[in-house]
Structure 1
Amino acid sequence: MNRPTALDISTFSNEMKFMLKLLRTDLPLEADEIIRHSRDIDWNSFLRFAVYHETFPVLYPLLVELNEEQSWTPEFIMNRLKTLYVRNTMEMLHLRGELERVNKLLADKGVRSLILKGPVLADMLYGDISGRTSGDLDILVSKKDWDNSVLVLLEAGYVRGEQYEVDGEVFKNTERKTHHISYVHPTKNVEIELHWSLNPDTVIEPSFDDLWSRRQKSTLSKLIYTLGNEDMFVYLILHGTRHAWTSLRWLLDIDRMLSRFLNWNRVRQLFEESKSTVLGGKAIILASNLLGSLLPEEAYAMTQNQKAHRLAQTVTLFIREEVILYPKPAKKEIAVAYNRYLLSTMTPKQKLLYVTNKLYPSTKDMMVLPLPKSLHFLYFPLRPFLWFWRQVKRQTI
């Protein structure tokens, strides 16, 4: 199969390159070659990358197999990976149980729901819920079912996240700032992100009814539904794009999706409708270069775009280092690079909506300048000045 133009990953550490070699799906792993490469590895650094990129659910069983004939991975690394793997399996089982409970409660109320990631995606792409990590449950519902969905969660013991409570109630800006609201169960320690759309409002996407018509049953339960393959593929790419692919876990998902049956005519149509064909090409370039994903002709055609290649090369900055992007980048240079990258992924219309939404007040403005409710309208003209003041204070800390 064809390969897109190679990316420059010469600045990647030996540990990162070694991890990528283990994760590649295009070449059989030769034990002697792997052992030879492992001699130059700082194993603590390797472990840190495996945790940061959340690749340990794939790496641990792989390393167990590779160490069967000759033990070459340090014992403390295998023990730590095993601990992480077992813990993740227990957490995923816990999430699965709660997902089945909440899904049934929604169905009993006549609410149609689509499960986006979590245990459903792990089982779908890795054949086992222990093959992927997940910190929460993402559930998409129709806007017309929103009130009933919230009522179901509240009756099930969930409470609304504090930030969403303040922002939504004070500024009525929830839909401007996000595309979901988090609900947390205080005793079960489970967070549910309830979505009314797949992506922020700067992205054009199919209606819920269209997504529902193309849904597929989860193998976890005949009562649980998720997105159809093509909708899932596009959704995962747009999600990874927003997060600058800072976790290889998301790129592993794309690698697994590329090996599934995809109707490429529909994939192309979905990307064209959301004005994101270049972003699809960028993700495929990353998957092929870093993970060795095998590309059908239709996927390869999407990589033949200079902007897609430039964006993919830009993203390697966020992959090779341990960066924090949310709630805000820890380093100024990363913040600047990320904002430039994010804007470069948007169409002119999306950029306008993005900037407009940034000008809308938030709780951060209230923290800088508390005003009585009767004067909240002043946050709109004061927003640029409050933002500037926050930046000044941030640089002086």
Structure 2
Amino acid sequence: MLLLFSRLELDDAQAEMAMSLCEEMKDWEAFRQIATHRFVLPIAYRHLRRLQPASLSAEQMAKMRHQVMSYYQHDLNVMVSLREVIQQLLRPLNIPYVTFKGPSLAARYYDEPAMRFSRDIDILVPRERMPELLALALAEGYRPLDPPELANNPISLAFVARYQKVVTLQSPRGIDVEFHSRIDNIGTVYDSRSLIDKAELMRVGNADVAVLPHDELFVYICWHHTKHFWSHLHWLVDIDAMQRHPSFDREGVLACADRHELKITVEACLKMAEVLSSPDFDFHCHTDARVDELLTLALEAMQGDIKLEHELANRKPTPDFAFHWQTDRRHRLRWQLLGWLRIFRPSYADYSEWPLPPRWHWLYRPLRPWRESVRRWSQSRH
């Protein structure tokens, strides 16, 4: 039933099947908890409010409504925080950026943006502008979360901008904001500066926000969610909402995917969404082994937890691709080389424990394996 509910609207066949499943529902409390865990309680509540199944008690309906109202409050807080990040940090410094996922996606493609739960805010900025952005944010009361010990001084901020691709701060309103300098692991899937240059302005609340073009965002969503095995059901709502939008152009999306060498990934995601939209979907109603593998692991991940997702991640050929058929041998070999070299990449913890002036930062690399071994040995003793 949650798979059926993971879309903005139900057609007649889907609604009929949903009502049939509602009649079989024995534990609505368990349903509410799973919908919460998979981030689709708001959209599930909307469908149930329209269907009004007799098996759903007024007490359970009220409990869902109360929880959904708390999500509405959180999402409003996220929207306001996004506006404040833009108006208080990015615009005063004239930093180019693009925001993706979360609140801007909800405002753009959902008829009711509050239906899309957003945990945090994701913003891509040029790496060279990261130190001044972080300095202003920390001065304005943002709290560092990753790295938690981030200090507001030029050397510290230059170090973290150079060696950490995502820095997470918590806004004064308590909303996590992830500042990205890259949205893939080694920069072979996406060129950050090119994405920022393609940004379009759209109205989110009462602020103009830079977002990705429709085709670019759809391709990114398919790639990103596949990387995480579609483990959250609200990602299915995302792909449904985007396909329903008047801007959706399937041929344009596939052409964009082809430019990023992601066409196979996008085609598999489109087929998966089509299969899951069927009221009585059949795992093997197609002949594409890639779609079968995607469906199998996605449905496994949707029912698992973060531990299972980590176990699945260990099978990935590279951190950027969940399946071998998504990429080629050239990319995998490049990651194997760079992955091996990453053991020499210093972390902010290295700098925090042993702060060196910039001219000596090269020492972190040769000493990194030894320092990491000492750190792990020390932790194991405690």
Asked if TM exceeds 0.5, the reply is yes
How far apart are residue 91 of structure 1 and its match?
A: 0.8
Check if 1:285 corresponds to 2:271: yes
> Which amino acid in structure 1 is aligned with residue 211 of structure 2?
T
Deviations 1:298-334 (A, max 9, x none): xxxxx9853354233222221122x11xxxx3x6xx6
Q: Partner of 2:147: helix, strand, or coil? A: helix
2:97 to 113, 116, 119: 113
Within a 5 Å distance, the mapping from 1:58-73 to structure 2 comes to 58-67=43-52, 71-73=54-56
Match of 1:136 in 2: 120
Number of residues of Structure 1 aligned to a counterpart in Structure 2: 354
- Stretch deviating more after TM superposition (256-265 or 167-176): 167-176
Match of 2:111 in 1: 127
Q: Partner of 1:200: helix, strand, or coil? A: coil
* CA spacing shift, 1:60–1:286, aligned 2, 3 Å: same
- C-alpha distance in structure 2 between counterparts of 1:384 and 1:156, whole Å: 34
> Which amino acid in structure 2 is aligned with residue 312 of structure 1?
L
What's the TM-score once normalised by structure 1's chain length?
A: 0.74
How far apart are residue 255 of structure 1 and its match?
A: 1.6
How far apart are residue 87 of structure 1 and its match?
A: 0.5
Deviations 1:115-169 (A, max 9, x none): 2133221121212331111111112223343334223322321132253656995
Match of 1:22 in 2: 5
What are structure 2's unaligned runs of at least 5 residues?
280-285
Q: Partner of 1:127: helix, strand, or coil? A: coil
Preserved contact between residue 343 and residue 368 of structure 2 (Cα < 8 Å)? no
> Which amino acid in structure 2 is aligned with residue 98 of structure 1?
S
Within a 5 Å distance, the mapping from 1:183-262 to structure 2 comes to 183-185=169-171, 187-221=172-206, 223-260=208-245, 261-262=247-248
Match of 2:77 in 1: 94
What's the TM-score once normalised by structure 2's chain length?
A: 0.77
- C-alpha distance in structure 1 between counterparts of 2:63 and 2:376, whole Å: 44
> Which amino acid in structure 2 is aligned with residue 50 of structure 1?
A
What are structure 1's unaligned runs of at least 5 residues?
1-17, 294-302
How far apart are residue 270 of structure 1 and its match?
A: 3.5
* CA spacing shift, 1:48–1:286, aligned 2, 3 Å: farther
- Stretch deviating more after TM superposition (276-285 or 353-362): 353-362
Deviations 1:43-85 (A, max 9, x none): 2321121011100111112211111xx6431333312211221
The percentage of counterpart residues that share the same residue type is: 19
Preserved contact between residue 184 and residue 190 of structure 1 (Cα < 8 Å)? yes
Preserved contact between residue 96 and residue 125 of structure 2 (Cα < 8 Å)? yes
Preserved contact between residue 278 and residue 305 of structure 1 (Cα < 8 Å)? no
* CA spacing shift, 1:96–1:147, aligned 2, 3 Å: same
Match of 1:338 in 2: 313
Q: Partner of 1:289: helix, strand, or coil? A: helix
Q: Partner of 1:341: helix, strand, or coil? A: coil
Preserved contact between residue 112 and residue 142 of structure 1 (Cα < 8 Å)? yes
Check if 1:45 corresponds to 2:51: no
How far apart are residue 378 of structure 1 and its match?
A: 6.0
